[in-house]
């Protein structure tokens, strides 16, 4: 598998090479215009922001690595990959010298670099409608905030690069005095800037972005900012942000949970619960989108599909803990929760599930008691995993409802919180337990909420960070996690909450230092 990326350190070498060239040797490449040749009109301003979105679908972002960074370290799945990077990541033992750590790092800093260029140059273009300009800047702020949110959650004290480097020294940013609090502060600033500039939707805007779905909205920025406050434990600040999203009238739960994980564009586009996502397609174009420059031959498929699929790479499998947790409660008509069937693949003849990848369960060679990952895989019908077109959910409405419920409970309104939890349960046809939950103590409610979040959001990149912010990565809770997932046997509190900063970057950049994981 090949991937192409440009890291901060590598850019320094490019600059040194450029300054060594004479004017006679500088030949303009029409396919790689300089900043001075670009940013001249409104179309180029729009294209500059579109280029930031393009980063969402490369390997270092949501095509594969970001979901793996988030899911692999939780107790819902374990790794059985022949690739030591994946097993090491999942078991908290990957060394900083593993070159694959660069993929996530580079993907996020490519997004940041493109956002910085847009933020610096779009205000200087005269030929841009004023309202469109604000929307474009709002999207750039949102995407930069998202990138830094992912980076600091995974790596802690990452360098804050907020301008385009303009000399050799600026290609070597330092993270020595950076803290996660500082990165979160920058993320919050970016998201507040985004909220002030973004529309609730693009239906009524005037301009080339009119009617375009998938662009960042005010609701997306509010939801992400609320999540930042939640991760900081500031429930008072988080609550009104989630309330704004819920009360906006822009979002609702899709009628069928399984429709959230369809490769059918018609079903995906009709989902009222999508707030922000990475858009993949079922294209069979010739060139895989692992990274580098986009071109007309990009396939734009979700590489997470073969990675999680038992029918393909089979790098990950669900833990017994997840299997048992998702079977705890039955629907009002006595069936398994439909979210189970969208998340896990198992043999359930009483409910009509007797095939895998479009073939009889036993003809596939599986045992009656086997179970595998189904979410984001092609297990339902056996389509080509290497042209998987699942849109990857980054922010969705059900998560906002559950985060809102948590914030309400933590600020003293468990009764209201119970109603939002039951909203999510209602879609799954589960018994109405709102009155029961409303009478819970905070400790009882949080225990129930943990179960509800697993049911709704399993294998969607939130579990590890939930465990961390709830204090489960230490003491008796850590021992329980070790019973859920053998990989936690090698987890050391205070050392393994973050993944290492790539040693290759530290070697390139004399001002970069490692974190507690290095």
Q: Give the model confidence (pLDDT) of 467-500 as tens digits.
A: 999 999 999 999 999 999 999 999 999 999 999 9
Residue reference for tokens 């020595």:
176
Question: What number is the average pLDDT over the span 423-434?
Answer: 98
pLDDT at residue 29, rounded to an integer: 60
Q: Which tens digits make up the pLDDT trace of 24-43? A: 445 556 656 666 678 999 99
Residue 219 and residue 235: Cα distance in Å, rounded?
18
pLDDT band of residue 15 (cuts 50, 70, 90) is very low
pLDDT, tens only, 74-113? 999 999 999 999 999 999 999 999 999 999 999 999 999 9
pLDDT over threshold 70, residue 278: yes
The predicted-structure confidence for 312-323, as pLDDT tens digits, reads as follows 999 999 999 999
> What pLDDT, on the 0 to 100 scale, is given for residue 16?
31
Q: What are the pLDDT digits (tens) for 43-68?
A: 999 999 999 999 999 999 999 999 99
Alpha-carbon gap, residue 367 to 362, rounded angstroms: 7
Residues 100 and 154: their CA atoms lie apart, in Å, by 14
Nearest CA among 413, 472, 477 for reference residue 445: 413
**What does the block give as tokens for 393?**
């959910």
Name every residue whose Cβ is closer than 8 Å to that of residue 304 and which is 6 or more positions away in sequence: 63, 64, 67, 68, 376, 388, 390, 392
DSSP string, 5-47: ---HHHHHHHHHHHHHS-GGG----TTS--TTTS--SHHHHHH
Query: What local confidence, expressed as pLDDT, does residue 291 receive?
Result: 73
Q: Is the pLDDT of residue 14 over 50?
A: no
Task: Give the residue among 489, 502, 506, 501 at the shortest CA–CA distance from 92.
Answer: 489
User: Backbone dihedral region of 455: left (phi > 0), alpha (psi from -120 to 50 degrees) or beta?
Assistant: alpha
Cα angle value 6/11/17 (rounded, 5°)? 130
End-to-end CA distance of the chain: 26
| Domains (range + CATH), the chain | 8-217+497-508 (1.25.40.390), 307-388 (no CATH)
State the pLDDT at residue 33. Answer: 62
Contact assessment for residue 322 and residue 310, using Cβ atoms and an 8 Å cutoff: no
Q: What is the pLDDT of residues 144-192, one digit of tens each?
A: 999 999 999 999 999 999 999 988 778 899 999 999 999 999 999 999 9
């Amino acid at each position: 598998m090949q991937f192409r990326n440009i890291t901060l350190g590598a850019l320094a070498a490019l600059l040194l090479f450029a300054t060594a060239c004479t004017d006679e040797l500088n030949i303009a490449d029409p396919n790689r215009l300089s900043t001075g040749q670009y940013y001249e009109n409104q179309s180029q301003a729009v294209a500059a922001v579109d280029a930031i979105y393009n980063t969402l679908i490369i390997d270092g972002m949501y095509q594969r690595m970001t979901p793996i960074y988030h899911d692999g370290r939780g107790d819902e799945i374990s790794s059985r990959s022949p690739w030591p990077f994946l097993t090491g990541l999942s078991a908290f033992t990957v060394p900083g010298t593993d070159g694959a750590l660069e993929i996530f790092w580079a993907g996020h800093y490519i997004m940041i670099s493109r956002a910085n260029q847009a933020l610096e140059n779009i205000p200087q273009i005269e030929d841009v409608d004023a309202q469109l300009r604000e929307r474009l800047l709002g999207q750039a702020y949102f995407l930069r905030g998202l990138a830094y949110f992912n980076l600091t959650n995974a790596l802690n004290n990452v360098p804050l690069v907020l301008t385009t480097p303009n000399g050799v020294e600026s290609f070597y940013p330092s993270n020595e005095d950076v803290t996660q609090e500082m990165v979160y502060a920058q993320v919050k600033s970016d998201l507040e800037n985004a909220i002030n500039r973004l529309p609730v939707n693009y239906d009524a805007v005037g301009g080339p972005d009119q009617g375009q779905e998938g662009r960042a909205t005010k609701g997306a920025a509010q939801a992400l900012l609320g999540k930042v406050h939640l991760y900081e434990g500031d429930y008072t600040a988080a609550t009104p942000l989630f309330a704004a999203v819920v009360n906006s009238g822009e979002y609702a739960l899709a009628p069928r949970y399984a429709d959230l994980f369809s490769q059918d564009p018609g079903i995906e586009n009709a989902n009222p619960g999508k707030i922000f996502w990475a858009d993949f397609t079922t294209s069979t174009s010739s060139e895989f989108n692992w990274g580098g420059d986009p071109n007309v031959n990009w396939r734009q498929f979700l590489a997470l599909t073969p990675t999680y699929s038992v029918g393909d790479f089979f790098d990950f499998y669900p833990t017994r803990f997840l299997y048992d947790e998702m079977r705890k409660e039955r629907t009002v008509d006595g069936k398994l929760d439909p979210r189970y069937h969208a998340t896990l693949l198992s043999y359930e003849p009483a409910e009509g599930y007797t095939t895998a990848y479009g073939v009889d369960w036993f003809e596939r060679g599986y045992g009656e008691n086997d179970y595998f990952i189904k979410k984001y895989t092609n297990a339902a019908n056996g389509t080509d995993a290497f042209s998987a077109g699942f849109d990857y959910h980054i922010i969705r409405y059900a998560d906002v409802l559950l985060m809102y419920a948590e914030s309400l409970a933590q600020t003293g309104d468990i009764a209201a919180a119970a109603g939002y939890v039951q909203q999510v349960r209602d879609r799954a046809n589960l018994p109405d337990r709102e009155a029961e939950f409303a009478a819970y103590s905070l400790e009882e409610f949080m225990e129930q909420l943990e179960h509800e979040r697993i049911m709704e959001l399993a294998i969607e990149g939130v579990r590890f960070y939930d465990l961390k912010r709830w204090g489960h990565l230490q003491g008796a809770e850590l021992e329980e996690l070790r019973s859920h997932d053998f990989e936690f046997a090698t987890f050391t509190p205070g050392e393994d909450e973050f993944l290492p900063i790539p040693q290759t970057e530290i070697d390139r950049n004399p001002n970069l230092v490692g974190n507690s994981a290095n």
